[in-house]
């Protein structure tokens, strides 16, 4: 099993995203949430899969956009000890 740890802000963002989508459709919110957690696992196993976004930040983070839900991106630290 892959390991990853979400920051408090990320957990809050996930709840806000789910609540926003669920206002229209709980099933859709669940699908997006499932895709996010699948992506977290994928990125824990493949920490260099994302790409830099120097137009957004100079921090040493990578960005992964969800293929099925391109309006949602994950920003993560590939150097984290949890990504090894």
Q: Residue 29 and residue 51: Cα distance in Å, rounded?
A: 26
Among the residue ranges 30-39, 63-72, 74-83, the one predicted with the least confidence is 74-83
The domain containing residue 68 runs over which residues? 8-83
The model's pTM is 0.86
Residue 43 within any structural domain of the chain: yes
* Residues of the chain by 3-state class (helix, strand, coil), percent to 5: 45, 10, 45
Residue 72 within any structural domain of the chain: yes
Residue 2 within any structural domain of the chain: no
Residue 75 within any structural domain of the chain: yes
CA angle 74, 80, 84 (to 5 degrees): 100
* pLDDT tens string 8-59: 999 999 999 999 999 999 999 999 999 999 999 999 999 999 999 999 999 9
Q: What is the largest CA-CA distance in the chain?
A: 38
Residue 1 within any structural domain of the chain: no
What's the total number of domains in the chain? 1
Q: Residue 49 and residue 64: Cα distance in Å, rounded?
A: 7
Residue 25 within any structural domain of the chain: yes
């Amino acid at each position: 099993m892959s390991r990853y740890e979400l920051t408090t802000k990320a957990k809050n963002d996930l709840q806000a995203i789910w609540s926003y989508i669920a206002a229209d459709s709980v099933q859709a919110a669940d699908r997006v949430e499932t895709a996010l957690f699948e992506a977290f696992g994928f990125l824990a196993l493949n920490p260099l899969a994302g790409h830099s976004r120097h137009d957004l930040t100079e921090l040493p983070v990578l960005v992964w956009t969800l293929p099925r839900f391109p309006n949602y991106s994950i920003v993560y630290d590939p150097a984290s000890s949890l990504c090894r």
